[in-house]
Amino acid sequence: MGCRQFFLCLTLVLFLVAGDESSELSNERAALLEFKSGVVSSHPVDRLASWGSSSALPVCNWTGVECSNNGGNSRQIVQIDLSGMSLHGTISASLSNISSLLVLDLSHNFFRGRIPWQLGRIPHLKQLSLSWNLLDGGIPPELGFLRELVYLDLGSNKLFDEIPQPLFCNGSSALEYVDLSNNSLSGEIPLKGHGCELTRLRFLLLWSNKLVGTIPPSLSKSSDLEWLDVESNNLTGELPSEIVSKMPKLQFLYLSYNKFVTQDGNTNLSPFLSALVRAENLQELELAGNGLGGEIPPIIGDLSTNLVQIHLDQNLLYGPIPPQISNLLNLTLLNLSANLLNGTIPLELCRMAKLERLYLSNNSIYGEIPAEFGNLPHLGLLDLSKNELSGSIPDSFANLSQLRRLLLYENRLSGTIPRSLGECVNLEILDLSRNEISGVIPGEVAGLRSLKLYLNLSGNYLDGALPLELSKMDMVLAIDLSSNNLSGTIPSQLGSCIALEFLNLSGNSIEGPLPASIGKLPYLKSLDVSSNQLNGSIPQTLQTSLTLKQLNFSFNMFSGNISNNGSFSSLTMESFMGNQALCGTIKGMHSCKKKKHPYNSITMPLIVSLFAVFSLCLFVYRSISKSKLRSQLGIFSRQDDMDYDEEKGKKNDHKYPRISYKQLIQATGGFNPSTLIGSGRFGQVYKGVLQDNTRIAVKVLDSKTAGEIKGGSFKRECQVLRRTRHRNLIRIITTCSRPGFNALVFPLMTNGSLERHLYPSHGLNPGLSLVQLIGICRDVAEGVAYLHHHSLVRVVHCDLKPSNILLDDDMTALVTDFGISKLVNGVDELKLVDDSVSFESTDGLLCGSLGYIAPEYGMGKQASTQGDVYSFGVLLLEIITGRRPTDVLFHEGSNLHEWVKSQYPHKLSPIVEQAILRYAAMALPSSLNSVWEDAILEMIDLGLMCTQYNPSTRPTMVDVAHEMGKLKDYVTSPPSLLIQATQSKLDAAASSIKAPVNL
């Protein structure tokens, strides 16, 4: 009787609760359920699981739903925030039935279709965020009925048609934040006529659309505007001087890549800059790519001292650079390139101590380069190319410790190359080509090991011999010394420039033979030695090269027989002209008699191959026999015995908690398929919850497959996890073993693997930003560097790839899956803990995963740390290109390294642009693209270095971790402004406008 009374009371309570909710929220519940009926979640966990007609939860407790708290029983839904929940489907018009709604945020999802016009009927809506979806069609004019709307964000969708005038002209607009950027909106900015005054507006983002016309004068009523971005449209007319003069709070002004002109018939920039003087907080000014005419007036120096970046490039500005620009003491970037500027470089520029990047290229600037440039401690890029500069290169450049790119080509510079340039230890690009520089190439400059892109000294008056120090440039991709007066011979040591792809020595007076070592360069694609005095035969190594595509031997004194085989098969007589003593089968070349050889070209290779096969069979037979004997006698190493007692099935190390097989069964629901979160060639991974609510991942190894690796995958992983401790390596909780069952228990990583984020099931852009990915790669590099160089027993992972990188709650990366890793004694990688490191299996189990395997592994080399470096490099290139290495392998017929290098450096722009679009955490002004581009290019450079064919030329993981750390600092540090001046500022400003009421 007691139980019946209890259930009767419980039923009555539920009835009263339901009755209370139905009286206040029945319409809202129905509206939410109708909305949910058109929504699908692609997230592994259904984010809307709490939404349901049978749910016992009150509507106000549903995920993303907040209600007002007015006391008593009068509660209303005031906020729906489902942002970033991986939701698909359409946006239901039923949401308009929630009349009390103040905030609707559905951003960063995958909603398709049109924006329901009925949303304009929510009378008190203050925030509407639908950005970063796949919405199309036009913007409903009915949104103009939202008289209390403060925050409107429809950016980064597929919206088209004109911006409806009622959106801005409803007579009583409360709008403070408007973002319609990155769509395909057309027509004019609709701020014309009575009632079109956005007096409260602080942010107007319209960039990357198809807008035309002028900036409407009524925008001057928006005197509180802080951020105006209309770049990358088709706007015309004079720069809006009258408008910006009434915006004293402006911080970011982006007008680049339109069709604006200056005042007085495109001859006077002064009125516009004068109008900006009142903007005391101005930080970034972009006017690039408009065709602006006139001089740069001295008043530019009166702009805000808070200015950090000025972009005036790709215009028609003429006259001298005003020295007053040096008053902008906090400037880090100044771009005046591609104009008609003349005069000399003002010495005052050299007083801007915070300057990091200076672009003055493609102008008509003359005079000498100021030696005072050496006083700029942060200068990393100096581009003075394509001017009329004369005099010598200052010795003071040696003081520029941060200088990475020095571009002085196409000037009239004379004198010699300063030896002091060899002290620029971070220099990556040095281009002094097409000047009037004489003297020898200093050994200090030729030995710059930091150069990793190119050295170009062509088109000068350099003489003397090629310095032997050139052989130290083991990371440089291109060397061009053509069109000089160089003499002597080509040193065979150039074969040490193992990353070299392009070598041009043409147009000199070099004599002697062409070294065979040049043909052995593993990546050489282009070789030009034409117009010299080289003699002797052309080395056979060049013909057998697998990478050479372009060759020019013309106008030398070469002799001998040339066949049209190998890399010579695509050459014509033009590559051999002017060599009278050459003969052979190249079309147009006179034939010569072939020498008879005692052996044909097949016999010797066949003998060598048969001997190699015989040796391999003997090795495998002896290895298998040895393994069987050890197994029959029960012989194990002391290391094995310490780790695992296979007879008892117990770990000898008792410091791990004991979890029984029964407990694992209970935690995973009997290893129910619904708990399966991953599978691979060595077993499956299940998620589960222990009795103490600990969330775990259980890796159950397939005893048959895992046993195919000598020593066993289970034992190997135990060995590694037992001996390694690092914040970026997965932490083992315990192991569980019984006959026929081996399992490893780890903490459950709720954010899953990097693989899941790079290739989400919805097939669209991953939810990670570039900043996050750089942090993840830095974490991985730190973890692998620890394995290679700092753990008690060195470890080679052997299977580094996105699916073996897990992400914890704060997106810290942890390297996992050590099933095929190798233990190395000390620092000598040739001495391994056991015999299992040699690649004996015929099915490739030990080699890692296809696409990530280092090329030397395919030639029978032992596992090494350099192999992990190669896999990490593939990972970097995969992240940037968005392409799996196997996709490139099967569709392009080459590996990811070769494919990226085929685009390098002049075809990288599409890759960089797609990466920016793919990993943009939010809609950012394109002024920040330079920072993002730099970061992406650095990752490409590092990826190519890590995936070099020769293992000895790859950096160590310690070096890689250091570079990734610097890159992370670059994209997150104040000088970069990526976070400080843009994303965080925009986010902070937006958050101050969002949710304007106390919920």
Report residue 64 as tokens: 């993303």
Instruction: Give, in order, the Cα–Cα distances in Å from 942 to each of 409, 614, 938.
Output: 26, 41, 6
> Do the Cβ atoms of 232 and 207 come closer than 8 Å?
yes
Examine the residue annotation and report whether 799 is marked as an active-site residue of this protein.
Answer: yes
Cis previous bond, 377, omega within 30: no
Report residue 346 as tokens: 């003002």
Q: Identify the burial level of 64 via C-beta atoms within 10 angstroms of its C-beta, where 0-12 means exposed, 13-18 middle and 19 or more buried.
A: middle
Whole-number Å distance between alpha carbons of 734 and 780: 23
DSSP 322: P
Whole-number Å distance between alpha carbons of 536 and 944: 35
Provide, for the chain, the percentages of residues in helix, strand and coil under a 3-state DSSP scheme, each rounded to the nearest 5.
35, 20, 45
| Helices of type H across 701-765 | 703-706, 713-723, 754-758
Whole-number Å distance between alpha carbons of 110 and 123: 26
User: Could you give the angle at which helices 957-972 and 770-789 cross, rounded to 10 degrees?
Assistant: 150
Q: Identify the burial level of 124 via C-beta atoms within 10 angstroms of its C-beta, where 0-12 means exposed, 13-18 middle and 19 or more buried.
A: middle
Q: Identify the burial level of 246 via C-beta atoms within 10 angstroms of its C-beta, where 0-12 means exposed, 13-18 middle and 19 or more buried.
A: middle
> Do the Cβ atoms of 64 and 32 come closer than 8 Å?
no
Whole-number Å distance between alpha carbons of 713 and 189: 64
253 contact partners, CB below 8 Å, separation of at least 6 = 228, 229, 244, 276, 279, 282, 284, 285, 286
Whole-number Å distance between alpha carbons of 790 and 806: 21
Instruction: Give, in order, the Cα–Cα distances in Å from 258 to each of 34, 337, 479, 630, 990.
Output: 44, 17, 39, 77, 26
Cα 975-980-84 angle, rounded to 5 deg: 135
Q: C-alpha dihedral over 528, 530, 531, 535, to 10 degrees?
A: 120
Q: Residue 715's closest CA among 625, 637, 601? A: 637
Q: Residue 240's closest CA among 296, 287, 291, 187? A: 287
User: Could you give the angle at which helices 770-789 and 929-946 cross, rounded to 10 degrees?
Assistant: 30
Give the strand pairing for 454-456 and 158-162.
unpaired
Tell me the CA end-to-end span of the chain in Å, nearest whole number. 45
Furthest C-alpha separation in the chain: 116
DSSP 13: H
Report residue 10 as tokens: 């419980």
Length of the chain: 999
Whole-number Å distance between alpha carbons of 922 and 941: 26
Number of H-type helices and E-type strands within the chain: 22, 54
Q: Could you tell me which residues are annotated as the binding site for ATP?
A: 699
Q: Give the bridge partners for 678, in sequence order.
A: 685
- SS3 of 401, please? coil
Whole-number Å distance between alpha carbons of 361 and 338: 6
Whole-number Å distance between alpha carbons of 323 and 319: 12
Looking at 383, 799, 817, 941, which residue is catalytic? 799
Instruction: Give, in order, the Cα–Cα distances in Å from 740 to each of 633, 640, 743.
Output: 21, 19, 10
- Backbone phi and psi for residue 87, each to the nearest 5 degrees, phi listed first: -90, 140
- Radius of gyration over every alpha carbon of the chain, rounded to an integer in angstroms: 34
Which residues are part of the catalytic machinery?
A: 799
